[in-house]
Amino acid sequence: MSKTASKLEAIDLNAYYGDFHALKNINIDMEEKAVTAFIGPSGCGKSTFLRTFNRMNDYIEGFRVEGQILIGGQDIYQKNVRVDELRKEVGMVFQKPNPFPKSIYENVVYGLKIQGIKKKSVLEEAAETSLKRAALWDEVKDKLHKSALALSGGQQQRLCIARALAISPSVLLMDEPASALDPISTAKVEELIYELKNDYTIVIVTHNMQQAGRVSDSTAFFYMGELVEYAKTKTMFTSPKDNRTQNYITGRFG
Amino acid sequence: MTNSDINRLKDKAFQVFGIFCTFIGLVVLAVFLIDIIVEGITRIDWDFLTNLPSRRASRAGILTAWVGTLWILVLTTLIAFPLGVAAGVYLEEYGRKNRLNNFIEINIANLAGVPSIIYGLLGLEIFVRQMNLGGSLLAGALTLSLLILPIIIVTTREAVKAVPRSVRDGSYALGASKWQTIWNQVLPASFGGILTGIILALSRAVGEAAPLIVIGALAYVPFTPSSPFDEFTVLPIQIFNWTSRPQEEFLTNAAAAIIVLLVITFLLNGIAVYLRNRQQKKVKW
Amino acid sequence: MRVSEKIIEGLLWLSAVITILITAGIIWVLLSESISFFQVVSLAEFLTEDEWTPLFAEKEFGILPLVAGTLLTTAIAIAVALPLGLTIAVYLNEYAHARMKQIVKPMLEVLATIPTVVYGFFALTVVTPFLQTLIPSLAGFNALSAGIVMGIMIIPMISSLSEDAISSVPRSLREAAYGMGSTRLQTSFGVMVPAASSGIVVSVILAISRAVGETMIVAIAAGQQPRLTLNPLVPIETITTYIVQVSLGDVPQGSLEYKTIFAAGITLFVFTFALNNLSFWIKKKYQEKYD
């Protein structure tokens, strides 16, 4: 996989949890180095869809997909694709900050360490760069070896972003990254997303309509496992084509 | 008196009875500990700890017994720790819901309920006779390892299960493999709980006499063991032996040896409780 | 990378499978030695003869005296532990302050951590002499004192497991009882204990299983005289004590006397196996009912 080819596509994608048809015939083509937001009511399949791009659903018993997920033109559900290689390209940030119960430093370099990189200078440099990119460096540079669990929720989330950046992915998946944070921390994370899109292809799942409006270039609306509408964010929010989209973004359900 | 007064009276009476029952166990425990200490404490001195066993009660010591106990503890840990943790990790992290794993789980619950003396019979046949280890430390440690294996497996599973999914997800999302995730994240995060379980299991092993008697551990060993293949005795067997003798002086010896055994047992339990409390305080997910 | 992952998984799997081998080993060892025992002594004789004297010149191989001794000490232990344990469970759950419960529960559990050989010493040197002042005819070795001490040892087993069962009864049930003006006592025994009954039964069954297999207390304090009696005042012998007695002696390996301990062992194993599985069965049934 080459670094620049970070275009995300889904072709005729269907996904199932056992008998439950979670994603129905999804076709989408996302822009490189831009932010795409997935919105929709709970249980609409947006998180499931997000997690197909780094195959995090593989661990769920009974889960299977049909169709194709292409990253930079390559189908990542092919047998010869190695999941660990894939995830070096596709970083992920979760809904609740999930730092490892280790030091701040160990959190950031973990991804590199498991790739077998042991050289201290390399690790330290990567830690500093990533923490700076995640706008956390100034707050933690004096306590790198303190427990990450002692940080505030907002700091923990930015640490998780730094941790994802440390392995130099080209795609960042964010699953409601600010839903567990206070408004000030949320603003910081959003600002960060805005900056990061210059270098990364970002997909963000969110419940928060304003947030989608603030950070994303394009928006996809999911409902009951279907991709109902996909358009430029501005277009979608001002003149949605589908009734269901209209109802959702004006707050009539969800 | 109205019906409701009678009911209230009954309620009060039961409360008093409840307090009585709750404390009767503790009072018996206290009486017992005091009795042992009064009887045995004056017998404990340096000679008692460093003398070999003897037919004369006043010259007999527990050197071989506590050295044997220490050997057994170390060997049992070396055998049961890796085996139990590995099995626990497998069942919690890898084991899918299928017939075999279901059977393994029921089987472990069953093993936990098998009387310790039955493990003695197993050890006698397999380790002492078939593997020709005789009544050696190794045979004893292997037997006790099997005995405490279910405890270690169950506590390992609980500790591993307590590590939240989000930590695993975080690790997988960075490209870690399953084993890398277990080794680097799950095991370190659950280590406190696993350690607690192992120490509790050891405190059980340290007090066992029956299975070791069955595999042929001796009551009288004139030398301290120096290799895993040597014959041995342990504190509980020494206590049993002295308790079964008619002379009063040997009972005093038994009481003194009991004090030593209880110190070891309570120490192990104390460490386990301390670790558990610290773990609960430290980790807030 | 992938190969090493598979190897590790294989090793872990092997560790888990060893537990099956342990069970298989136990059954194989007990069966193989007992089968050659039963080739000499008929199963009918073993189960119906009322004397057990394999170590004497005139040998009789009736397991009943050992079974009787085992059941007698177990019955006494449960007679002590069940009322005490259940009362403690109810008291801690319904009456005691949370703080008191927090302190008392671990203290009671200390009772379960004391090595059984220590309890044996206690039974022989403290409890028996004390009981002899009340019952002059009490023998120096007897089922009564061993049983009582064993009962004290298993109190925490019953009290802890029963307390867990009672406290897992849905809150709404208890509130409903209080809402109708019940006292704590009426709520406890009218609503909570019946609702938690299967959990309590499980705790008692596990306690019985534990008492049946208990060795050192009875070996020290109950005597070594197999006797088909329900009299708690005289020396008896349990299955476990017999195995210890033979192990301490100089019975040659492979002899018929040697094989008797496996015949005794398989009898013990059958008892505890049945009890344990009965408790699993009740537990499972109960869980299905509540889910």
* Cβ-based neighbours of A150, under 8 Å, separated by 6 or more: none
Long-range contacts of C206-209, Cβ-Cβ distance < 8 Å, separation of 24 or more: C206/B113, C206/C157, C206/C161, C206/C275, C206/C276, C206/C279, C207/C77, C207/C78, C207/C81, C207/C82, C207/C85, C207/C154, C207/C157, C207/C158, C208/C74, C208/C78, C208/C275, C209/B113, C209/C271, C209/C272, C209/C275, C209/C276, C209/C279
Backbone angles phi, psi at B244, to 5 degrees: -80, 0
Distance CA C200, CA C81 (A): 12
pLDDT of res. B285 = 47
pLDDT in tens, C125-169: 999 999 999 999 999 999 999 999 999 999 999 999 999 999 888
Residues of B with a Cβ under 8 Å from any A Cβ are 96-97, 164, 166-167, 169-177, 180, 184-185, 188-189, 283-284
Query: Are the beta carbons of A94 and B189 separated by less than 8 Å?
Result: no
Angle at C203 (CA atoms; ends C199, C205), nearest 5 degrees = 115
Query: Are the beta carbons of B174 and A96 separated by less than 8 Å?
Result: no
Grouped pLDDT means (10 residues each) for chain B, 285 residues:
81 90 88 90 86 80 92 96 96 86 90 95 94 92 96 94 92 92 93 91 94 86 86 93 88 93 93 82 55
Mean pLDDT within A58-72: 89
pLDDT of res. B224 = 85
pLDDT > 90 fraction of chain A, expressed in percent and rounded? 65
Q: Which of B96, B97, B189 sits opposite A101 (nearest CB)?
A: B189
pLDDT in tens, A115-138: 989 999 999 999 999 999 898 999
Give C209's contacts in chain B (Cβ within 8 Å): 113
pLDDT band at A253 (very low <50, low <70, confident <90, very high): low
Residue C102 contacts B, CB cutoff 8 Å: no
Give C26's contacts in chain B (Cβ within 8 Å): 114, 118-119, 121-122
Residue B87 contacts C, CB cutoff 8 Å: yes
Strand-pair partners of A202 = A35, A172
Query: Are the beta carbons of B174 and A114 separated by less than 8 Å?
Result: yes
Pair B216, B234: CB distance under 8 Å: no
Q: Which domains does chain A have, with CATH numbers?
A: 8-249 (3.40.50.300)
Closest CA to C236 of C71, C3, C79: C71
Helix (H, G, I), strand (E, B) or coil at C47: helix
pLDDT of res. A252 = 65
Angle between helices B248-282 and B187-206 (to 10 degrees): 170
Distance CA A40, CA A228 (A): 10
Distance CA A184, CA A198 (A): 23
pLDDT of res. A1 = 42
Question: A88: which 2 tokens?
Answer: 């070096």
Instruction: Mention the CATH class of domain C64-290.
Output: mainly alpha
Residue C87 contacts B, CB cutoff 8 Å: yes
pLDDT of res. A28 = 94
Q: What is the DSSP letter of A57?
A: G
Domain ranges of chain C: 2-39, 64-290
C-alpha torsion sign, points C171, C173, C178, C180? positive
- B181 to chain C, minimum CA–CA distance in Å? 11
pLDDT of res. C291 = 43
pLDDT of res. B34 = 92
Residues of chain C predicted below pLDDT 50: 291
pLDDT of res. C57 = 79
Higher pLDDT, A79 or C150: C150
pLDDT of res. C183 = 84
Question: A54: which 2 tokens?
Answer: 């780094």
* Interface size between A and B, measured as CB pairs under 8 A: 67
Per the prediction, chain A carries an average pLDDT of 90
Regarding the domain delimited by B47-282, which CATH topology (the fold level of the hierarchy) does it fall under?
MetI-like fold (1.10.3720)
Q: Which residue of B has its CA nearest to A100?
A: B167
Distance CA C71, CA C74 (A): 5
* Cβ-based neighbours of C103, under 8 Å, separated by 6 or more: none
pLDDT of res. C8 = 94
**Which of A57, A83, A100 to probe the B interface (max B CBs under 10 A)?**
A100
pLDDT of res. B283 = 56
